[in-house]
Structure formats: structure tokens, C-alpha cells
Amino acid sequence: MQRITGLNSLAKLPELLLPYHHSRVLLVTGKASYVTSGAQQVAETALKDMDVLRFNDFEINPKIEDAIRGADLARHKGIDLILAIGGGSVLDMAKLIKAFYANPDASESLAKGKTPVTDPDIPLIAVPTTAGSGSEATHFAVVYIGGEKFSLAAPCLLPDRIILDGVLLASATPYQKACNILDALAQAIESAWAVGSTKESRDTAFRAIDLITQHAHAMVRPDADPASLQGLSEAANLAGQAINISKTTAAHAWSYGITGQYGIPHGHAVWLTLPMIFQIHAQARNQQISDPRGPAHLRKIMARLMQALSIDRTDQCCAVLRGFMEDLAVQHDLEKLGPNTIKKRGTLSQLANMQRMSNNPIRLNPQNIKDIFRI
């Protein structure tokens, strides 16, 4: 993967496109972010002499029917380059179109992992305009089928080239930026303790955490300085690199149901369970730890996480992390966001993505789940 990074690095897009000068380009963008981020002016200049089909007719949290339609359009056009400029949903949509391109009759089977993806040999260039999902650094894409979330994975879905330009983040609202921060930090935390983690993914995750804690509070200010915006862009990419190896765990497993049921943005939804899950991990007894590397391994990771996040005692984990949410002006009380009865929260507690849950290093028992959802 070729990475171009730095403030105003989107200006290098024409140079990046030179090898594809005669290509038919599928340009995948968001509806508003493409303009408000400042990307449109640069991209249109870079693409002015190329044959371009723009696709932006889809919603946040990509639905399979939209991805199929996008792949059909791309196939009809005979595209030979995909350029994705936008947030996580835009980058995921571009990956889904690439995944469905060569095998249009098997889209649902591909999405569910029952059919392997055939590489259409179409390069993918990714330009994130948010700093949360890290989708530009992963080989998987989220897709929803009838409200149920699936994660389609294939090596060919890892973008070939990316541009990380912090300037593109400036137009987001403070809440959007906060959700991005929370998403990237959750990915880094979960990657650090995941059963699927490696030394490489853990080292990458902790580099992301260091950058996030350094820049998070400055980024959500209306006058966020460019260095903070670039720092978060780099941090989100590192967190994406980490989960590309390790994948996510329990907090992400529950987040999809919370988002699906109550429309809470993904980064926010993950943190409605993460603070208590973190404390449960920090206080887990040996017999509850299921990571085959054993209790000593998890305890070492948790101690390192607590130090990185300035948490002194295991019984303070939840309070400190919820305090971090408050500092970002993000509501941490699940009851105040829709599920205001025990029954509603109990329903949410049953909507876990089991693939992600199996990657968790401890077995969450019924009392843990009651504590997480206050049921």
C-alpha cells in the first residue's frame, strides 16, 4: 500500500492519478462531505481529463442493495479504477462494489462469507474525510442485509493507495469529530486485548492510543489546530491497521445493534458499553479469562492500557472513560439515548455480533451483562 500523508496532501492526487490517466473512474463519495471537506475542488481538477462516473446514492451504514446497484453501474461503465473520497461508509461502499464487481449473481453469498471474493484487478484509491473508522487500512467492509450487519473480508479489498490529509477533517461538527475519536480509540483498545492480536497489532494500537490522547481534546474545538487534525487522521489509520490484524471485540459486537435500533452513530454506540467492559476486563478473575495466552498476558495488556489512558485503579476504569466522553461532550448514559427501560436495554444486550464476541479475551457472564446494560 502506498501512503501519502500530511496536511494538504490531497494536492498530490493528480500525481497519484498519473498512472491511470486513461482510466474509466468510479468516484464514490458522500452526499455532503465531498463538498464541505474541500475535497471536491481538488478532485475535480485532478479528474478533469478522465472519464468519471460518480456514485453517491447510498446511506450511511451501507446496504447490500445499494452496493449491488453501484456494482451494476460500475460494470456497465467498464470502470478500471475506483476512487473513494469520504468517511467509513463511503470507503466501505467502494470496497463492496469491488467485491461484487466480478460475481454479480452471488452478492449476498459474498457478503455472508459463503463465497470467496474474486479479485477484479481494479485498483482502489482511498481518501478518508473522517478520522474514525480506519477503513482505508483494512481488508474488510461492513454491509447490512435486512438490518443485519455482516463484515465482508478479502485481501483484494485493502486499498492500493491512500491519502491522509487532516485538512479534510476540519469541516466536521464537534460531535462528528468526537464520534470519530471514540471510534478510533475503541478500535485501538479492543485491538490491544483481542484474542486475535499479535505483537505487531498491539504495538500499532498503542501508537494510535498515544496520538489520540495527545490530540483528542484539541480536535473537538471549533478552531481545531491543523496539527491535531492530522494527528487524529494518522491515529485512525493506525487503529485501522491494528484491527486489520486483530479484529474487534465485545464493545463492537454490541454497537451494531445499538446503532441499528436507535440510530446512534457508530463511534458513540461503541462507547455506550466500552467503559464498563474495560473495567470488567481489568478486574477479570483467572477462570473468566478465555484468551489461550493466559491471565498473565491479559493482565499485562490491561496494565499497559490503564497507564496509557491515565487510569490509576481498576475500580476507576469505567468512571475515567465515561469522564473522557463527558470531556468530548458526548452522552454516556444509555438510558438517555432511547433505551430507557430495563426491557429495552435487555433486548439490546441480546443483539451481539457473535463473530466479534468470540474474539473477546474473557467470557462475559450474566452479571457482567447486567452491569454493562444496567438490567
Spans of all domains in the chain? 2-168, 173-373
Mean of pLDDT over the chain: 95
- Cβ(249)–Cβ(278) below 8 Å: no
pLDDT above 90: residue 338: yes
pLDDT digits (tens, 9 = 90+) for 273-321: 999 999 999 999 999 999 999 999 999 999 999 999 999 999 999 999 9
Q: How far apart are CA 358 and CA 259, in angstroms?
A: 20
Q: Which pLDDT value is given to residue 355?
A: 75
2-168: CATH number: 3.40.50.1970
Parallel, antiparallel or unpaired: strands 2-5 and 161-164: parallel
Percentage above 70 pLDDT, the chain: 100
Q: Which pLDDT value is given to residue 348?
A: 96
Q: How far apart are CA 179 and CA 49, in angstroms?
A: 37
Q: Which pLDDT value is given to residue 132?
A: 84
Q: Which pLDDT value is given to residue 219?
A: 85
pLDDT above 80: residue 345: yes
Model confidence at 260, pLDDT cuts 50, 70, 90, reads confident
Q: How far apart are CA 170 and CA 278, in angstroms?
A: 31
Q: What is the mean pLDDT of residues 158-167?
A: 97
pLDDT digits (tens, 9 = 90+) for 165-214: 999 999 999 999 999 999 999 999 999 999 999 999 999 999 999 999 99
Q: Which pLDDT value is given to residue 59?
A: 87
Q: Which pLDDT value is given to residue 86?
A: 96
DSSP of 100-132: HHT-GGGHHHHHTTSSPPPP----EEEEESSSS
Superfamily of domain 173-373: Dehydroquinate synthase-like - alpha domain (1.20.1090.10)
- Cβ(47)–Cβ(27) below 8 Å: yes
Q: How far apart are CA 356 and CA 367, in angstroms?
A: 20
Q: Which pLDDT value is given to residue 353?
A: 79
Residues 6+ apart with CB under 8 A from 21: 49, 50
